[in-house]
């Protein structure tokens, strides 16, 4: 069993709101700088830069593919995958259903797919920060069908976090865990939303700028940095565990 640091919510230049320097190469560089052994790439409703990050990193750090999906209710969900095909399949399904609104780069910023050598592969036409017209339970179900795992992103954020939007945790066995905002104290957040006390809390950076990578992290006690081990750690299987890194003090 190893102890390792994970940052499971990192944006790249594919998110219009992220810094243009957040190319796959730069993200890998920053993740190594921050001592992360596992990262997840989670752009808004899109995943296309994840495979490049993974190919550049070659295991250092291990890279999960993912997306930050905004449901019809305007709840933001981190969807994480090991499998590239599964993640890109979901990306394609979501893109088809996204509102047909063009991203105006002057207003929103650029949405760019960038390869291993920092070359621009393509720009994405539709505005990715629109909610997809999928109800939250359907998002959760589809992610699971494709072998992925989903948790509410920055669950305590107002608005955009699940608790602000839905007021209460949904009934049923989802979610098992929830991402906390980089700045939030777990105790204060649980005091405000007692229902969170029964979930595993994960901290991540939600980095949009290079220096933000790793500003929030979770320590995993696992055998290897993978999605299966992350899930086992959340469930506390055979001595595996997750523990929350400290709140980020700056850059709010």
Partner 1 sequence: MTVAGVVEHLALDVLAEGDLSTLVTGGYCSDLLSDVLAHAGGGDVWITHQRHMNVVAVAKLKEVAAVVIVRGAAPNEQMVERARAEGVNLLMSGESAFQAAGKLYRLLSG
> Shortest gap between Cβ of 129 and partner 1 (angstroms)?
17
Q: Which is nearer to partner 1, 195 or 228 (CB)?
A: 195
Toward partner 1, which CB reaches closer, 73 or 110? 73
User: Least CB distance from residue 243 to partner 1, whole Å?
Assistant: 28
Q: How far apart are CB 222 and partner 1 at their closest, in Å?
A: 33
Closest of 120, 122, 125, 121 to residue 104, by C-alpha: 125
- Cβ proximity to partner 1: between 23 and 189 the closer is 189
**Assigned token pair, 33:** 């700088």
Lookup: tokens for 244: 């929350």
Q: Would you tell me which residues interact with partner 1 (CB under 8 A)? A: 72-74, 135-137, 158-159, 163-168, 170-171
Least Cβ distance, residue 204 to partner 1 (angstroms): 22
Task: For partner 1, give the closer residue by CB, 54 or 157.
Answer: 157
Query: Smallest Cα–Cα separation from 76: which of 175, 147, 171, 145?
Result: 175
The smaller minimum CB distance to partner 1, of residues 72 and 89, is found at 72
Helix or strand (DSSP H, E) at 143: helix 136-145
For residues 18 and 49, is the Cβ–Cβ distance under 8 A? no
Residue 57 sits at φ, ψ, to 5 deg, of -70, -30
Q: How far is the CB of 164 from partner 1 (least distance, A)?
A: 5
Question: What is the rounded distance in angstroms from the CA atom of residue 118 to the CA atom of residue 96?
Answer: 27
């Amino acid at each position: 069993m190893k102890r390792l640091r994970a940052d499971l919510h990192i944006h790249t230049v594919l998110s219009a709101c992220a810094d243009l320097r957040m190319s796959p190469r730069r993200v890998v560089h920053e993740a190594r700088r921050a001592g992360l052994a596992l990262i997840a790439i989670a752009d808004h409703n899109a995943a296309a830069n994840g495979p490049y990050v993974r190919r550049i990193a070659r295991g250092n750090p291990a890279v999960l593919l993912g997306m930050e999906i905004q449901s019809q209710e305007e709840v933001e969900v981190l969807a994480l995958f090991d499998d590239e095909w599964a993640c890109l399949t979901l990306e394609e399904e979501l893109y088809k259903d996204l509102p047909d609104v063009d991203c105006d780069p002057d207003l929103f910023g650029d949405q760019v797919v960038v390869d291993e050598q920092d070359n621009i592969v393509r720009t994405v036409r539709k505005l990715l920060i629109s909610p997809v017209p999928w109800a939250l339970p359907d998002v959760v179900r589809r992610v699971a069908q494709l072998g992925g795992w989903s948790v509410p992103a920055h669950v305590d954020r107002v608005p955009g976090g699940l608790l602000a939007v839905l007021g209460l945790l949904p009934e049923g066995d989802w979610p098992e865990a929830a991402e906390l905002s980089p700045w939030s104290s777990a105790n204060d957040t649980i005091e405000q939303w007692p229902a969170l006390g029964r979930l595993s809390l994960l901290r991540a950076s939600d980095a949009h700028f290079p220096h933000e990578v790793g500003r929030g992290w979770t320590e995993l006690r696992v055998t290897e940095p993978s999605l299966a081990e992350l899930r086992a750690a959340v469930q506390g299987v055979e001595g595996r565990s997750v523990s929350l890194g400290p709140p980020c003090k700056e850059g709010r």
